[in-house]
Chain A
Amino acid sequence: MCKLSKFVASFFAVLLMATSAHAAEWGTLTGRIVVDGKPPKESPIDTAGKDPQACTKEKLVDEGLLVDAKGGLANAVIMLKTKNPAVNPELMTNATGNVDLDNKNCRFEPHVQVVLLTQTLLLKNSDPVSHNSKVDPLNTPGINPILPVNGEPVQFKFNSEEGIPVKVGCNIHTWMGAYLVVRKDPYAAVTDRTGAFTLKDLPAGTELEFLFWAENPGYLKNATFKGGKADARGRFKYKIKPGTNDLGDIKVSGSIFKK
């Protein structure tokens, strides 16, 4: 009897391990978004006459189109468009904290970031002048608070996902803008200064749909990569294999960017 129960227990243990091993088949998607052709120059922002005590501390440039010497496009977004994907629970362990959006030297830090529905956005002001942060998403009632100097951070939570990143603007310093990628699942990433991104632990084995987006020009249409191409709305389908899936250089035509 004892032997039998041991056998049954070990059988179920093996079965359980096999099941979790199957569910743990996750794959990571990496790549680097590059502008094909002559990279556009950095466009400086004219802050003349606007709060010099805060706005002249660093050289401000248009962060909507930041391209490095090797063509890497910073602040671009890759996001999963397939609805209700299986989510690796490990990715959600830190999904309830705060996400900071700071106003520093008359720019938002960071310029683009992912915010999960379970997280709280904290709007902060580290400058010696007041700012405002106008956030008007489509699916959550918006806010537009004044952020005073040394004030408490303003908290904001999204009720629902947004199809494209939501803009946060400061109307006192009209050049200031930031974007929030509002997600239920954690499958969105922002490119770093070199244009590289990593989307961790995507469910492997099924074909998924992704979207490339950047503040300028919006959808990264016809972006091409090894073995694939995005459509006119920057979307492409890809089957994730367990382990690392590298898209290599994802080339975007330089002529689609707004001047």
Chain B
Amino acid sequence: MRSGVDRFSVVFQLPSFFRSMLCLVAMNKITHAGLRCWPWLAGLVLVAGCGKAEPPAFHSNVVEMDRQGISPKQEQDIANILGALFGTPDKPFVLTETGLDRKKLEQAAGPVRSDQFGKESGLYRRHCGHCHGTTGDGLGPTALVLNPYPRDYRQGKFKFKSTERPDKPTTADLEMILRHGIPGTAMPSFDLLPDTQIQVLIEYVKYLSMRGETELKLISAMADLSEGTLEISRTALVDEILKPVAESWSTASEKIVAPAEKPSIELALSIEKGRELFYDTKRANCIKCHGLSALGDGQTNDYDDWNKPLHEIELAIASERESLRNDTEMPAADRNERESKTATTAAILKSDSLPVRTITPRNLRLGVYRGGRRPVDLFRRIYAGINGVPMPGVGPTAPGGTGTLSPEEIWSLVDYVRSLPLEAISEPPRQRPTAAQARF
């Protein structure tokens, strides 16, 4: 809802930079109550409109665009297509093909606000945006200081879910994450929110993920063209690009991993079987990443699917700079072009991504399980693997197939993993109690 102040600002059309500076000056002066000129400044602010900022916009996936050699014109075309398919952060729009509920999206989107009946809106920006970012790219203002980084939804990959490895999470999976948070990370529980608000936020997460994945597919389709731009038609854009993304969400509930019932076997025996599998370098081979001591100190120099492309770009930049330094015979025009390209890529990486991190295999002695601590959660992690990270699956790659381990063996591994935090070695080193006076 526009205020009267906003209408004034539209009339005056002051350049936004000047307006912001004026606002800053005015607010600074007003806080120094001794200044006599504040009513004058406040008047100026009133006509200039402090509240009038550019509406937030979705941010293009410029790192991927640069990686795939998308031209500025093509970038604009992709932004226009996405605008037509998904609207803006203040005014979301979706086609019926997405299966998304526009009413819910409207309540999640836009600035934080409430109506006369107390219905709260702008829920994404209120609860999620500061970490996950307006675009759902995991680049919110607080992301840099978090470890692990907040999820970037744009790849359409989710780690903790009940479905097969490549499939999307179900609504219930996202609800579990929202209600319980993710232990061991900065993702808190939102269980105190009313159920309607939880559902609204889930819908918006799906929306941002669909938008981001559609963008990735548009970038690849654009990069694959010989020349020019993508054909603007319902078949090319909706049927071939948007629909498969939307269908991967609507069919998620058909892809749930339903474990065979846990066999009734003595726990100690099951744990022993699980231990053997954990150390078996010919089969499950868990020790390679989780380490001989299960502290997560095995393979520690690998990357997840979000960081790996960034790491490769970093390597390419370093290599190109070395070539430019060492190749003294490079023609000047060639050198200038390559220097400029490298500088652009480095600048994009700096402004549109977080410092690259390696992926840490889980320390299994802590008893902290990000995807849920129930036996069924651990079964699904081991059976399907974890999407987006190195963790492989030991179950079949297609339903009905034969996996590396049988369901009984996976249950034994679950029992063993659940026993690890309870082993004596998992306890912190105990100190002999010392009499208080002896410490001084």
> What is the interface of chain A, defined by CB distance below 8 A to chain B?
51, 81, 128-130, 132, 134, 136, 138, 141-152, 154-156, 163, 171-172, 174, 209, 217, 219, 232-233, 235, 255, 258-259
Contacts and interface: CB of A to CB of B under 8 A. Distances in A.
A235 B224 CA distance: 11
Contacts of A232: 69
A146 B284 contact: yes
Given A148-B283, A163-B220, A174 B166 contact: no
Contacts of A51: 281
B330 A148 contact: no
Interface string B376-416: 00000000010100111110011001111000000000000
A142 to B, nearest CB: 5
A259 B69 contact: no
Interface residues of B, number: 43
B355 to A, nearest CB: 20
Contact of A259 (B323, B387, B394, B398): B323
Given A145-B393, A171-B390, A130 B165 contact: no
B392 A145 contact: yes
Nearest to B323: A255
A154 B397 contact: yes
Contacts, number: 97
Contact of A255 (B285, B327, B387): B327
Given A144-B165, A255-B323, A149 B283 contact: yes
A146 to B, nearest CB: 5
Interface stretch (B115-123, B299-307, B431-439): B299-307
B394 A142 contact: no
Given A138-B220, A148-B404, A259-B319, A172 B285 contact: yes
Contact of B281 (A130, A136, A142): A130
Contacts of B224: 81, 163
A129 B281 contact: yes
B282 A148 contact: yes
Contact of A174 (B301, B305, B403): B301
A116 B305 CA distance: 25
Interface of B: 69, 165-167, 216-217, 220, 223-224, 226, 248, 281-285, 288-289, 299, 301-302, 305, 315-316, 319-320, 322-323, 327, 330, 385, 387, 390-394, 397-398, 401-404
A129 B299 contact: no
Residue of A81, A129, A146, A233 contacting most chain B CB atoms (<10 Å): A146
Given A172-B288, A174-B301, A209-B226, A141 B166 contact: yes
A258 B319 contact: yes
B289 A172 contact: yes
A152 B402 CA distance: 9
B224 to A, nearest CB: 4
A171 B302 contact: yes
A215 to B, nearest CB: 11
Nearest to B322: A259
Contacts of B392: 132, 134, 144-146, 171
The SS class assigned to the B binding surface is loop
Contact of B217 (A138, A151, A209): A138
B302 A174 contact: yes
B143 to A, nearest CB: 24
B404 A134 contact: no
B393 A146 contact: yes
A259 B317 CA distance: 11
Contacts of B284: 130, 146
A217 B316 CA distance: 9
Contacts of B248: 141
Contacts of B319: 258-259
Contact of B282 (A129, A136, A144, A152): A129
B306 to A, nearest CB: 12
A143 B397 contact: yes
A229 to B, nearest CB: 14
Contacts of B330: 255
Contacts of A155: 397-398, 401
Residue of B288, B327, B391 contacting most chain A CB atoms (<10 Å): B288
Contacts of A219: 69
A134 B322 contact: no
12 contacts: A128-B282, A129-B281, A130-B284, A134-B392, A138-B216, A143-B166, A145-B403, A147-B404, A148-B282, A174-B299, A174-B302, A255-B323
Residue of B330, B391, B392 contacting most chain A CB atoms (<10 Å): B392
A129 B285 contact: yes
Nearest to A81: B226
Contacts of B397: 143, 145, 154-156
A258 B317 CA distance: 9
A150 B217 CA distance: 38
Contact of A235 (B167, B226, B283): B226
Given A81-B226, A171-B302, A233-B69, 17 more contacts: A51-B281, A128-B282, A130-B284, A130-B404, A138-B216, A141-B167, A141-B248, A144-B390, A145-B385, A145-B397, A146-B284, A148-B404, A171-B289, A171-B299, A172-B285, A172-B299, A258-B316
B165 A143 contact: yes
A154 B398 CA distance: 10
Closest 6 CB pairs of A and B: A171-B390, A141-B166, A132-B392, A149-B282, A163-B224, A258-B319
Contacts of B301: 174
A85 B174 CA distance: 44
Contacts of B327: 255
Contacts of A151: 404
Contact of A146 (B216, B387, B402, B404): B404
B166 A142 contact: yes
A214 to B, nearest CB: 14
